[in-house]
A and B are shown apart, each in its own frame.
Chain A
Amino acid sequence: MRGGESEAGVTGWGEGQVVSVSRRQRGSGQYLVMGDESVPFLLDQGTTKTYQIPIAHLDYKFIEKCTDVKHLEKILRVLRSGEEGCYPELTLFCEKRIEHLDPRSRALRKDKPPATASDFTAEEWETINGELMSWVTEMNEDDKKPQFPGTLHERQDNLPPIRCSSSCLSANQNEKSQDKQRNKKNIPRDYSEWDKFDVEKECSKIDEGCEEKNSKARFFNRPSLPVIEKKIDTTGMTKKEKIFIANREKEKGNEAFASGDYVEAVTYYTRSISVIPTAAAYNNKAQAEIKLQNWDSALQDCEKVLDMEPGNVKALMRRATVHNQLQNYQTAIEDLNKVLCIEPGNAIAKKNLLEIEKKLKSLKPVSETQGKGKRILIQDIEDSEGDDERGENTEESERSSGDKKSGVPVRGEAAAGAAAMGNTHRKFHTKGDGSKAEDRETKKQSGLKKGTSEENPQKHLSDHEGEVNGYLHSYQRSETPKDEKISRSRGAGSQPVGDTSSTSLPPIAAKLKSEGNELFKSGQFGDAVLKYSEAIEYVIGLGEQSPDDLSILYSNRAACYLKEGNCSDCIQDCNRALELQPFSLKPLLRRAMAHESMERYRQAYIDYKTVLQIDSSIQAANDSANRITKTLIDQDGPSWREKLPPIPVVPVAAQLHRWDGGGFTSENNPRSTTDINREEQLQMNCEKAEEKFKTLKNEGNDFIKKGRYEEAANKYSECMKLNTKECTVYTNRALCYLKLCKYEEAKQDCDHVLQIEDSNIKAFYRRALAYKGLQNYQASVDDFKRVLLIDPDVLEAKRELEEVTQLLNFDNSAVAGGQQKQRKKITIQEVTDSDEQEERRFATSEDVTGDVASKETVQMNVPPQTSEKLHISEPANAYDFGQIINAVNTSKDKAACAELLTVTDPRKLPVLLSNKLEGEIFLLFIQSLKYYVVGKDPGLVYQHLFYLSKAERFKVVLALLSKNEKEQVHQLFDALSENQNHQYSWEDLESLKKVYEL
């Protein structure tokens, strides 16, 4: 029994009286009305004094039956006061009754003393005290550490300016406010003045600076939404402070989550992550994203958590939820299985697993009820997860111990993965039949890839989602081109991997590689790394025979590193792969992802952009680039582009001309032709051009009004020749193309606009329509959402969004209907997979078979030693160039090199060389220029030397030249000055000499 209760119960008559009187004197309204002072002391034995309750009500039976809480409370007060006598048992009974009826009744509140050791078990008491003690010790230790006097000044520099400092007060206000403002700082203003204050003006003055900075970011937000910085400036902070702030931001996120404001929650989690990335913050963010139904982001966050803590049950559960939503049931099941490996008793996991399996089974017959079932499931998961959300924080301390546990489950996980892989493997064998199983397989995979729809064939390149099946799929395929190379039938792809030893790789390396692939598929990334490393060493040991194969090995190892979360090694390997094979997609993508996860957004952005230059249709890269754009805008403000390192220009030959059939250049072509355009523009009278541009545009607009879209499109195209920067022309042409059902062209135009103006609402809207036309519903939905983000009031967009979402759902569930699409997809995949061995594609249509490409490759791979005379043609891309240079270099054939240099446009030299300029090559260039070219065409030599100095690694190479070699360069320059002609002046030469450090 508690002290407080007994006290109330046992109070004597006299004391009780005092209490009740004093209550009346305090005089809260209720008491005054009820307890009229005029009531005689002994009025009626039938009722109580205070509330006139019949005495009969002070009875067990009555109290037991009474349901009126108010009345019971009165009875309780009477009983407690003791004015009708002291009945501790009855009082207690009455309390219980009230508690039963209304547990939160205020009458139950009693004064209580603070808890003491006796209120806890010995253990609890010990933990309470122990925790405090350890905290105190920790704090005292911290305190003794020296403070950081140096940082004080730094911090103050970062501070915002003092409010209303005189600088923001200018005199050109209207008269009334003038003297007010003059005095503002010194003379206090009163409330009414506060109201009269010209808010707008003052505001705009104060914020002038900031306004501009934020205008772009704000555009993305709704104006009413508060602008919260996504990143926290942590310069000058100590680690402790960072931890403190990261924690605080996460707590804010948790609170926002608890209040149902998920957008805000995501913002605060992002802020927390920007200070210190923690698994808990990512995990919570994932949950918030799930609530917002941002499946892609949620998936990424789960991946991040699992990278950090592979056995994190919550992350697995959440990822399963996301996969379920994205209809990747197989992967969802895998995740749930992993959960059950770790926590065999997890009821929610079991339940979800059952439901998903059911769904998977019912997937074959397309049923309308699927949607409903799904909905219920989401609710379930959300509720249950919502519950553990709160615990997230509190369990943090336990997590560390959880980590230790997770060592075991990982093995189980891998086993589960392997089992699942076995499944898919089997399915894979039946693929040739075009059965439903295969459809589902591919579908699952496509959903897996960041939720883009299956229309985007290339996205399996983005295997950073890296589910076992995904890898199985792509790697199985990656073998295919090699089979084709040795002119096997395409069916060979389904052969066991070990058979494909007859690539250009030496057998031992090939075997190591395929072992690596196998290990990778089964999720044993660490072991796979070892295998790949062995293979790489072996190949390197043989000499540089096959840069393409080596590049693949590096690229594969990079994939392993990426999966392991070892981003820096991943980047290194990607760099190596790209050195060997400039502009190959996979290493670029992997490097981009690694950069992104290391939060080097600029580099990631560059890589994604490069990927998009090579192939603009990789949805994953598109999405990521967009996402990073936003991050960068948040980070660097509107001038973020200026801070970017230059985006390498991809040689035209490295770009995939997928859409050539449409007769429209790919999006980056306008950029590469701008030089020509500029020249033309210069020649033309500028005014004239502008006029012409306007008339053309107007003509186009007129045609649109008349519904003659073809002519309109032509007019706009002419416009573009005059001015590539004008976005409206592109959006208008996109409209024409949309009307003409040329969706691909429309999309290209929109892409172009969005490159220039990344928040052009029309472009987003029209691209969304184009995607819809292309049946790429996911991308379409994304774009519509962006439209609505920019302006939530676009009704058409809302309507379209609904429609497309429906289509998307229908499309996802319509398994049987997608066969034709599937077939198309497969062809494209074949084509893109050939980029495993080389990026270069001569595809003019989608039907290009791998054979053509492989023949080309064979030609290229012919060892230079075998043919005495090299056939030199103009190299189309860095790869070609590299190949030829390698060949020339091994034979030290200066004549061939000179020939190569004569056919090569000097301006392209830096690009073609990419980062492969080496001392040997440099010397070869110098020698061949000296012996063969300088006499014929000194202008060209000058040009070459000039552009050579712009190449990457030039400085390094120069620094490493020996005296003898320097002498050769000197001789070349001497020769140049002897043969000087009008193409370069003496001053030019001198300055170039300086560049060459002569």
Chain B
Amino acid sequence: MSSAGLERPQVVAHVQQPLHYTLFDCKWVPRSARLLCLGSAARGTGVLQLHELRGGRLVLLSEIEKAKPIKCGTFGATSLQQRYLATGDFGGNLNIWNLEAPEIPVYSVKGHKEIINSIDGVGGLGIGEGAPEIVTGSRDGTVKVWDPRQKDTPVANMEPVQGESKRDCWTVAFGNAYNQEERVVCAGYDNGDIKLFDLKTMSLRWETNIKNGVCSVEFDRKDVNMNKLVATSLEGKFHVFDMRTQHPTKGFASVSEKAQKSTIWQVRHLPQNRDIFMTSGGAGSLHLWKYEYPAQRSKKDSEGAEMGVAGSVSLLQNVTLSTQPISSLDWSPDKKGLCVCGAFDQTVRVLIVTKLNKV
């Protein structure tokens, strides 16, 4: 165990910082050693805190209070120079903030009737070709795509047919943005539905159900020809879909793995290596995984149609940090192995994952 164990990546808790509010999301500010914590203060207002990592501790740079609790945020649709933060709050508002002047948002829209559960951006930060776009998923059952250059109305909107029950959309993610035209949005719902919307053809490209509520979906990379998608679920399982080969009837091949005995709240791929990802669990644990490709990624079925072959997933490391669920997780885009996670024990933790190069 000793020698072999040390060769594996280790997770070091670099900083643990208690906070005075409920933390929903935390994000690294690109090209900096700063991170943002988004959450809800005890009196029901939104909190946005900017911390800087300085010599083994986090220094609070600024704190801003907003009317509604902030559920989620992303830098995905902003340029490296601007670094505007897009947030979704409990009131269904999508706001874009200039962190230098955070008093009024640079863009604001009441996008949804209810809470925005999840947000993702693409086309910024040099990640993803094409227009900068933000996607939001809400409890009102809709998934909307926004272009910061277009006020008030979404550029695409995906919602259930009139009369059909509205499902709570828990998570959204962009993918397939490898050229200016191609782009997909993947959304996960509380009933276990996963839907893949193709924004180029404006069609529902694929859907499946993983039986339990989908807590988090993420493509391994947003800016390549769709390669893999990880979807985590309420009951502790996650599924990895090989998105390269879509079979006409069977869809995408997948492998599933049980990580822990509690909800997997979040999955995040290492920005520097798409085959490594971390899941954060309800029991305060983190699992680091590696996906291994099969020898052949596709094969022909009896009718000659191409179908994908799923690979396997192996656990690289797991740690338990808290007794409370870890609800958010974010890898630093600039420093390999540096990540931040926020848990419901009102603590933000900066972690270092070592030896990711040798995986």
**Contact residues of A with B, CB < 8 Å?**
2, 23, 26, 28, 99, 104, 106, 109, 111-116, 119-120, 124, 128-129, 132-133, 135-136, 139-140, 142-143, 147-148, 151-152, 155-156, 159-165, 185-186, 188-195, 197, 199, 202-203, 206-207, 210, 226-229, 238, 240-241, 244-245, 248, 251-252, 254-256, 258-260, 264, 391, 393-394
Q: Are B258 and A248 in contact (CB under 8 A)?
A: no
A135 to chain B, nearest CB (A): 5
Known A-B contacts A164-B156, A206-B200, A255-B221; the reply to A132 vs B14 at CB < 8 A is: yes
The reply on B103 being an interface residue by CB < 8 A is: no
Most interface-central of A113, A115, A124, A159 (chain B CB within 10 A): A115
Q: Which residues of A contact B182 (CB under 8 A)?
A: 226
In the bound assembly, the distance between CA atoms of A104 and B316 in angstroms comes to 10
The reply on B11 being an interface residue by CB < 8 A is: yes
Nearest B residue to A151 via CB reads B81
Q: Are B358 and A394 in contact (CB under 8 A)?
A: yes
Q: Which residues of A contact B55 (CB under 8 A)?
A: 133, 136
- With A128-B354, A159-B132, A207-B181 given, can you name 13 additional A-B contacts, CB distance below 8 Å? A104-B315, A114-B12, A128-B12, A136-B54, A139-B32, A162-B149, A190-B160, A191-B158, A194-B197, A254-B273, A256-B224, A264-B225, A394-B357
Nearest A residue to B82 via CB reads A152
Q: 10 nearest interchain CB pairs?
A: A394-B357, A115-B10, A190-B161, A114-B13, A139-B33, A188-B157, A163-B155, A111-B320, A136-B33, A199-B201
In the bound assembly, the distance between CA atoms of A939 and B96 in angstroms comes to 74
The reply on B44 being an interface residue by CB < 8 A is: no
A990 to chain B, nearest CB (A): 52
Q: Are A199 and B81 in contact (CB under 8 A)?
A: no
**Contact residues of B with A, CB < 8 Å?**
1, 6, 10-14, 31-34, 52-56, 79-82, 123, 126-127, 129-133, 142, 144-145, 147, 149-150, 153, 155-162, 164, 178-182, 195, 197, 199-204, 221, 223-225, 227, 235-236, 258, 261, 272-275, 283, 285, 293, 297, 314-315, 317-321, 334-335, 338, 351-352, 354, 357-358
Q: Which residues of A contact B130 (CB under 8 A)?
A: 160
A210 to chain B, nearest CB (A): 6
In the bound assembly, the distance between CA atoms of A210 and B131 in angstroms comes to 14
B306 to chain A, nearest CB (A): 10
Nearest B residue to A193 via CB reads B161
User: Secondary structure at chain A's binding surface: helix, strand, loop or mixed?
Assistant: helix
In the bound assembly, the distance between CA atoms of A721 and B7 in angstroms comes to 75
Task: Among A23, A115, A199, A391, point to the contact of B202 (Cβ < 8 A).
Answer: A199
In the bound assembly, the distance between CA atoms of A147 and B79 in angstroms comes to 12
Q: Are A227 and B179 in contact (CB under 8 A)?
A: yes
Task: Among A119, A161, A189, point to the contact of B131 (Cβ < 8 A).
Answer: A161
Q: Which residues of A contact B293 (CB under 8 A)?
A: 258-260
Q: Are B131 and A160 in contact (CB under 8 A)?
A: yes
B51 to chain A, nearest CB (A): 12
Known A-B contacts A163-B147, A227-B179; the reply to A251 vs B272 at CB < 8 A is: yes
Q: Are A163 and B199 in contact (CB under 8 A)?
A: yes
Q: Are B126 and A252 in contact (CB under 8 A)?
A: no
Q: Which residues of B contact A189 (CB under 8 A)?
A: 157-159
Nearest B residue to A251 via CB reads B272
Task: Among B131, B225, B274, point to the contact of A162 (Cβ < 8 A).
Answer: B131
A-B contact pairs, 11 of them (CB 8 A): A26-B261, A28-B235, A109-B315, A115-B12, A129-B56, A152-B81, A188-B158, A194-B202, A244-B126, A251-B272, A259-B297
Nearest A residue to B127 via CB reads A248
In the bound assembly, the distance between CA atoms of A984 and B129 in angstroms comes to 58
Q: Which residues of A contact B160 (CB under 8 A)?
A: 190-191
In the bound assembly, the distance between CA atoms of A139 and B53 in angstroms comes to 10
Q: Are B162 and A190 in contact (CB under 8 A)?
A: yes
Task: Among A115, A128, A197, point to the contact of B203 (Cβ < 8 A).
Answer: A197
Q: Are A248 and B126 in contact (CB under 8 A)?
A: yes
Q: Are B225 and A194 in contact (CB under 8 A)?
A: no
Nearest A residue to B150 via CB reads A162
Q: Are A136 and B53 in contact (CB under 8 A)?
A: yes
Q: Are B181 and A112 in contact (CB under 8 A)?
A: no
Most interface-central of B32, B54, B126, B317 (chain A CB within 10 A): B126
Q: Which residues of A contact B131 (CB under 8 A)?
A: 159-163
Q: Which residues of A contact B352 (CB under 8 A)?
A: 128, 132
A191 to chain B, nearest CB (A): 6
Known A-B contacts A116-B12, A190-B164, A199-B203; the reply to A255 vs B273 at CB < 8 A is: yes
Task: Among A228, A240, A251, point to the contact of B273 (Cβ < 8 A).
Answer: A251
Nearest A residue to B182 via CB reads A226
Q: Which residues of B contact A104 (CB under 8 A)?
A: 314-315
A272 to chain B, nearest CB (A): 12
Q: Are B273 and A202 in contact (CB under 8 A)?
A: no
Most interface-central of B81, B155, B160 (chain A CB within 10 A): B81
Q: Are B202 and A197 in contact (CB under 8 A)?
A: yes
In the bound assembly, the distance between CA atoms of A26 and B282 in angstroms comes to 13
Q: Are A202 and B32 in contact (CB under 8 A)?
A: no
Known A-B contacts A106-B258, A163-B147, A203-B200; the reply to A113 vs B320 at CB < 8 A is: yes
B58 to chain A, nearest CB (A): 11
Task: Among A28, A128, A241, point to the contact of B261 (Cβ < 8 A).
Answer: A28
Q: Which residues of A contact B13 (CB under 8 A)?
A: 114, 116
In the bound assembly, the distance between CA atoms of A160 and B177 in angstroms comes to 13
B84 to chain A, nearest CB (A): 11
Q: Which residues of A contact B179 (CB under 8 A)?
A: 226-229
Nearest A residue to B144 via CB reads A188
Q: Are B81 and A148 in contact (CB under 8 A)?
A: yes
Task: Among B203, B227, B334, B354, point to the contact of A259 (Cβ < 8 A).
Answer: B227
Q: Which residues of A contact B153 (CB under 8 A)?
A: 185-186
Q: Are B80 and A241 in contact (CB under 8 A)?
A: yes
Q: Are B32 and A143 in contact (CB under 8 A)?
A: yes
Q: Are A111 and B200 in contact (CB under 8 A)?
A: no
Q: Which residues of A contact B297 (CB under 8 A)?
A: 259-260
Q: Which residues of A contact B221 (CB under 8 A)?
A: 252, 255
Q: Are B224 and A252 in contact (CB under 8 A)?
A: yes
In the bound assembly, the distance between CA atoms of A186 and B150 in angstroms comes to 12
Q: Which residues of A contact B274 (CB under 8 A)?
A: 252, 255
In the bound assembly, the distance between CA atoms of A238 and B155 in angstroms comes to 30
Q: Are B315 and A115 in contact (CB under 8 A)?
A: no
Nearest B residue to A190 via CB reads B161
B27 to chain A, nearest CB (A): 15
Task: Among B80, B149, B258, B321, point to the contact of A114 (Cβ < 8 A).
Answer: B321
B207 to chain A, nearest CB (A): 9
Q: Which residues of B contact A194 (CB under 8 A)?
A: 158, 197, 202-204
Task: Among B6, B201, B224, point to the contact of A119 (Cβ < 8 A).
Answer: B6
Task: Among A109, A114, A160, A241, point to the contact of B11 (Cβ < 8 A).
Answer: A114
Known A-B contacts A190-B160, A195-B203; the reply to A226 vs B178 at CB < 8 A is: yes
In the bound assembly, the distance between CA atoms of A40 and B31 in angstroms comes to 62
In the bound assembly, the distance between CA atoms of A113 and B284 in angstroms comes to 10
In the bound assembly, the distance between CA atoms of A163 and B147 in angstroms comes to 8
B2 to chain A, nearest CB (A): 9
Q: Which residues of B contact A391 (CB under 8 A)?
A: 357
Q: Are A163 and B180 in contact (CB under 8 A)?
A: no
In the bound assembly, the distance between CA atoms of A203 and B203 in angstroms comes to 11
A865 to chain B, nearest CB (A): 67
In the bound assembly, the distance between CA atoms of A147 and B320 in angstroms comes to 40
In the bound assembly, the distance between CA atoms of A589 and B236 in angstroms comes to 64
Q: Which residues of A contact B162 (CB under 8 A)?
A: 190
In the bound assembly, the distance between CA atoms of A23 and B195 in angstroms comes to 33
In the bound assembly, the distance between CA atoms of A206 and B11 in angstroms comes to 47
Q: Are A228 and B31 in contact (CB under 8 A)?
A: no
In the bound assembly, the distance between CA atoms of A601 and B164 in angstroms comes to 58
Q: Are A393 and B357 in contact (CB under 8 A)?
A: yes
B309 to chain A, nearest CB (A): 12
Known A-B contacts A226-B225, A248-B127; the reply to A114 vs B351 at CB < 8 A is: yes
Q: Which residues of B contact A140 (CB under 8 A)?
A: 32-33, 52, 54
